[in-house]
Structure 1
Amino acid sequence: MKKYTKVFQGTAFSSKSPKEVQILKESLFCINDNGMIEKVVAPEDADYQILLDAYQGLENFHCLAEGQYFLPGFVDLHVHAPQWAQAGTALDIPLYDWLNTYTFPLESKFSDLDFAKDVYQDVVRTLLANGTTTALYFATVHKEASLLLAEICAEKGQRGLVGKVVMDNPEQNPEYYRDVDTQTALADTEEFILAVKELANSTKQGVYPVVTPRFIPSCTDDALKGLGELAAKYDTYVQSHCSESDWEHGYVQDRFDKNDAFALHDFGLLRDKSIMAHCNFLNHDDADLFAETGTAVCHCPISNAYFANSVIPIAHLHSKGVDIGLGSDISGGFSPSLFDNARQAVMSSRMLEDGVNTVLPAKERGVPNSRITINEAFYFATSGGGESLNLPIGRLTENYAWDVQIIDTTIDAAKLPIFYANEDLHDVFQKIMYLVRPENIREVWVQGEKVHSRV
């Protein structure tokens, strides 16, 4: 019989398609040395009882208790790691003022590696405790602190994709917080890429360097061009903000006489490994360009409610073949939980479809066919995030990483309202998605290794 490193038994929920959740009832998940799901065995399969007899009672056999379920680990496609230190503050002012009054002064402090270590250790620990097994991080302009974040991800077992932020435009960035000049920004970025690639050689779950122009206003043309060339040279991921707010969208149109999508594409920054945050103001041509280049959209529903001046037509973009994932956007979004963001994604989509201005007749008030379901929000938080990154994550199926959160619905302080032993599992899934709190996340595993446990 084939030997497995670990075998898990329990009921799991995973996306079968964007709109359909697959229920894997009392299945066995066989994990290999690399932390990948090598085999999924259903109770009706011929070898189910053979495997159960062979592994039950062994140290590497893990059986869920009554009321516990497996979910895939969440994939957060947009986190400003340094901003964890200001999460939950100053969300009532415009984006431009928020950045210059609060965010840039905070991020400038990350030249202090002791301060950076305190914040970065805590944000990685917090995201893991909230079920986020993969995170796409903006760091700061500081090369050393950005590398420290990648090292902390590696150490704590989170799959981290980390970008040293580029901000070299003296007209848009404060003197106290920006790259020294364009050449230094590009040289630091290249050195950062090489250092993270070296770190990845000894990191089981993977860490990845990400080319990261903060957004077009922050960067000179030469920096944008140079970053596109570095992304091509090293085949790296690319992340930025795109068409987020009225101000940012309008700035790019004034500077380039085109929308963000086409401006970024001209600099080689839209590619199959590109993930652009927000994208609220994408038009039809922009969306077609995203689909054509393989560029993904990171939907940040909580943050968008504060800073985007709009509700993104996420259902429309997905229908055009654009990959979609979900992001917390700490700290433009106050919550580190993708459960919270999945819930807000559903609510925002309903508001877009139904409209909010009661002065208008109902038929004129909203945008038809805009709503998404909780099944779709779950897909964006898991499988959609994995597809956006082109990584085998976000699904509980063979040849995917064993990235899971074990949900306990029976915790005294956060018990879910499940009162029937035979309650429909689709209903259980919905209750999990709408009601789970961090207390319910009993364990988190990444690439077959336990990275978080709640006693």
Structure 2
Amino acid sequence: MVFEGAVFSAASFDKADFSPKVLTCIDQSGMIDRVISVDEPDFKSVKQTAANHNILHPIPNGSYLLPGFTDLHVHAPQWPQAGLALDRPLNEWLQTYTFPLEAKYENLDFARKTYKSLVHELLANGTTSVLYFGSTHVDANLILAKICAESGQRAFIGKVAMDNPDQTPDFYRDSSSKEALEQTEVFIQQLQQLQKKTSSELVPVITPRFVPSCTDETLQGLGKLARKYNLPIQSHCSESIWEDHYAIDRFHQRDAEVLDKFGLLTNKSVMAHGTQLQNSDLDLFKQRNTAIAHCPISNVYFGDSVLSTKHAHNKGVEVGMGTDLSGGYSPSIYRNMQQAIMSSQMLQDSGVKNSRISAVNAFYLATVGGANALSIPTGKIRAGYKADLQIVNDQYSNIMSNNANDIFERLIYHTTKNQINEVYVSGKQVINQGDNNGK
């Protein structure tokens, strides 16, 4: 396929490139082969050849080709409660609402119905790669994986491990550390088999829910499994004042130090939230090459603070964007970019200097930052990157400025899924607004 039209793509943390008219050429493996500007000598011949083979895809005037987004933190089973009980304290929200909901995924029909809705909703919002927390149930997590494969979404999925009876309810936890570790390994092996069978982009992830939910034996065993299978790791780290203090009270160490002690901070680790991270923690993240999933909406409700994304970036820590469904109520990375910008301004207004981020910075987190955190070659519209793409309509192009910078900021602030006309993952169309069920 060859797209003809205007492109926005992150060049760096502080710069987004705009190309008003290029050919974006996708090869049969779903990679971007070339991006040809209008002044290159073979622009016309490549365009004509694509038209002759019926693979030229003109992008309409007023619409733009953008990279697909990477969401670094989604609690898949929590989708049915998105936006509910967010006025409650985190621990009460978990025990009263979240754990009872997640326990329902023992019912595989319920899992199938929910996950079909969730995966389609994320794709329709331009999210092409997702790092998912599943539930404790192996079979339900495999249903999520199958739906991602069928829908064409790139998915990193973890069976949640949680066995600490002091912090998890008796109706929803692994019955022992032995069960938590054995079931995690079963899930890893079955997901790898599914990946081979479907040739889809599925990766199992080691997933301790967070330090309070797990016994020492489970944390230790999960670190060993991550090394055995060379897998990504996801969890929460210094998500709130309560979690931060819990680690100190139990281990006499900071949350990041505890995770590191058990081998859970690696160059394949993504830790969510981090609103309470101190400089020593960020230095440890940098040393281990561990990334942060910035979840700006949910941090407003449960984080007790604002993560200084610019400070973390300047310290050399990779940061990407996460929705944190359902602690964050919106499945839209656009909505989370907007909140990230607003929250950073509030942080600066509170006296934290040089903490404000721009639309360009937020766009980098949503594309390149997330892709780098998962070590996947996507997030840019450039040769050698996966063709994860979205075609977005500028709904106000007829009445507002058409300066490139103005268009870009307008897309960041005003795009909803209604303006996302098409979505592609590795060159395959997965959403077409003309087909309400996707493709």
Which residue number corresponds to residue 416 of structure 1?
396
SS in 2 for 1:124: helix
Which residue number corresponds to residue 230 of structure 2?
235
Change (3 A) 1:243 1:323: same
Which residue number corresponds to residue 75 of structure 1?
70
Q: 1:128 aligns with which of 123, 132, 148?
A: 123
Contact 1:211 1:227 in 2 (8 A): yes
Contact 1:31 1:402 in 2 (8 A): yes
Which residue number corresponds to residue 115 of structure 1?
110
The answer to whether structure 1 residue 196 and structure 2 residue 215 are counterparts is no
Q: 2:275 aligns with which of 265, 280, 285?
A: 280
List gaps (5 residues or longer) in structure 2.
435-439
The answer to whether structure 1 residue 403 and structure 2 residue 388 are counterparts is yes
User: Within 5 A, what are the aligned runs for 1:64-213?
Assistant: 64-203=59-198, 206-213=201-208
Distance 1:204 1:328 in 2: 27
SS in 1 for 2:23: strand
Aligned Cα root-mean-square deviation (Å): 1.1
Distance 1:351 1:204 in 2: 45
1:223-269 Cα offsets, whole Å, 9 max, x none, are 00000000011011100000001111110110111111110001000
SS in 2 for 1:382: helix
Contact 1:83 1:330 in 2 (8 A): yes
The alpha carbon displacement at 1:196 in A equals: 1.4
The alpha carbon displacement at 1:60 in A equals: 1.8
1:184-215 Cα offsets, whole Å, 9 max, x none, are 11011111111112222244551110000000
Query: Which residue identity lines up with residue 159 of structure 1 in the other structure?
Result: R
SS in 2 for 1:56: helix
Q: 1:258 aligns with which of 230, 253, 256?
A: 253
The alpha carbon displacement at 1:418 in A equals: 4.1
Distance 1:180 1:155 in 2: 32
The alpha carbon displacement at 1:416 in A equals: 2.0
The alpha carbon displacement at 1:58 in A equals: 3.5
SS in 1 for 2:128: strand
Distance 2:288 2:166 in 1: 31
Distance 1:65 1:417 in 2: 12
Which residue number corresponds to residue 437 of structure 2?
none
Contact 1:241 1:277 in 2 (8 A): yes
Q: 1:335 aligns with which of 312, 330, 335?
A: 330
Which residue number corresponds to residue 359 of structure 1?
none
Q: 1:387 aligns with which of 364, 372, 379?
A: 372
Contact 1:204 1:447 in 2 (8 A): no
Contact 1:153 1:160 in 2 (8 A): yes
Q: 1:247 aligns with which of 226, 232, 242?
A: 242
Which residue number corresponds to residue 445 of structure 1?
424
The answer to whether structure 1 residue 429 and structure 2 residue 408 are counterparts is yes
Distance 2:50 2:31 in 1: 18
Distance 1:418 1:382 in 2: 28
Percent identity (aligned): 48
Which residue number corresponds to residue 3 of structure 1?
none
Distance 2:49 2:28 in 1: 18
Which residue number corresponds to residue 15 of structure 1?
10
Query: Which residue identity lines up with residue 399 of structure 2 in the other structure?
Result: F
Distance 1:236 1:185 in 2: 17
Distance 1:76 1:229 in 2: 26
TM-score by length of 2: 0.97
Distance 1:113 1:34 in 2: 34
Query: Which residue identity lines up with residue 238 of structure 1 in the other structure?
Result: I
Contact 2:79 2:326 in 1 (8 A): yes
Distance 2:147 2:14 in 1: 35
